[in-house]
Homo-oligomer: A and B are copies of this chain.
Amino acid sequence: MKTYLYIIALFLIPFAASAQRPVPPNSPEVHSDNRVTFRYFSPTAKRVVLDGEFMASPQAMTKDAAGLWSITVGPVTPDIYPYSFLVDSIQVADPNNTYLFANERFKRSIVDIPGKVPMVHALKDVPHGKIDYRYYKSATLDTLRRALIYTPPGYDASGNTSYPVLYLIHGGSDTEETWTKVGRANLIADNLIAEGKAVPMIIVMPYGNVRPRPMPSFTQDVVNDLIGFVEANYRVLKDSKNRAVAGFSVGGGQTLNIGLTHTDKFAYVCSYAPYTATEEFKENFGNWSPDKDQINSRLKLFTISVGTQDFLYESVKQNIAMYQEKGINLKTYIVPGYHTWMNCRLFLATSLQEIFK
C-alpha cells in the first residue's frame, strides 16, 4: 500500500544504509563566513524565489539538471531571520528546515546565523530557566486558554523568594510560542540574568489572538483571568511595581490598551511597534483625557519602540506624539529596521534590563 510504503521510506531515512529515497537537500547551509546556501527540490516548478528578512528584496533561485533549486547569499549579519520560498508565487516554508516560525497564517522558516560572538539570544552554558506550557480557565472568554510561563533559574515554588512578572504578548497571527521559538525570550532572559543585567523574573506569554474582535475581551482576560491564574500558581509579587506588560505589533497595541488603562496594576508598559488601528484603541484613546499626574506617578517606565522602516512607523510616531501632547512621560526607542523579530529581540533585551529596577 502506498501510504504504508511511504511511511516506511520516511521512517528509514535516518538509517542511511537502508534509505529508500535520496537524502534531502541540506538547507539552509550556513557557511563559516556567514554566507548561507538555501536549497529547494522541485523538478516541475517554473520559478523559485528566496524571500528572506536578511535581504533587501527577494531573489530568484537557480535550478540544476536534477531539479534542485539553490542560491547562496551573504555574508549575512549574524542573527535569527525568517525566510520563505516563493514557489511559482506560492509561499512555502523550507521543507528541509525543522525550525519553523510559529504563526497561524504565514509559512516561514528560520535561519540562525550564530556568528563568532554569541548573541543575547544564543543558547549558552549558563543557568537556564524553564518554560511551563499551561492551560488556564478564562471566564471572560469562556474557554481554556494556553499560556507559556517562563520561570527563571533557581525558581523554587517551595522557596521564600517571590518574583516580579512580565506579561509578554505576541503579534497578530502569531501564537503563544512565538516569543520563545522566534523571540527566544527565555534565552535572552537566561543570558541577561546570568550577566546580572536583568533581575530574575517570571515571564507570562499568553495566546493573544481573540477573533473576531480581539482586544477588549483579551484585556479583560489578562486582567480578570490570567493574572489571577499566575498569582495562584506561582510565587509572584502582586503589586503594580512588580508587574510589567510588553508586546509586539498587535500585541504592542494590546500592551497599550492593557497597561495604560490599568496603571494601578502595571507600573511598566513597553510597546514594540504597536498596531493601534483597532476599535478598542479608539475607544480607550480617541477622546482620552488622562490624569497625567496620576499616570506619570504610577508608571515607573513607559516605552514605545519602533524601526524607522517599519510599515507602522508613521502611525507609531503619531501615537507617541499623542501621549506627549497629553503630558504622559514616555521613553522612545527609534531604531533602524523593519517590522521584524530581529528588532523585537533587541526591544525585549532592552526592556528586560530596565524593568523591576
Contact = CB atoms under 8 A, between A and B. Distances in A.
Number of identical monomers bound together in the oligomeric complex: 2
B90 A95 contact: yes
A104 B175 CA distance: 21
A106 B6 CA distance: 11
Interface string A152-183: 00001111000000000001110100001000
A335 interface: no
A15 B312 CA distance: 14
A282 interface: no
Given A4-B311, A14-B172, A104-B98, A134 B144 contact: no
A52 to B, nearest CB: 8
Contact of A2 (B45, B58, B88, B309): B58
Contacts of A24: 105
Interface in A1-41: 1-4, 6-8, 10-11, 13-15, 24, 41
A338 B11 contact: no
A128 B135 contact: yes
Interface string A82-116: 00000011111101001010011111000000000
Interface of A: 1-4, 6-8, 10-11, 13-15, 24, 41-46, 51-53, 55-58, 88-93, 95, 98, 100, 103-107, 123, 125, 128, 130-135, 137, 144, 156-159, 171-173, 175, 180, 186, 209, 211, 249-250, 275, 277, 309, 311, 338-340
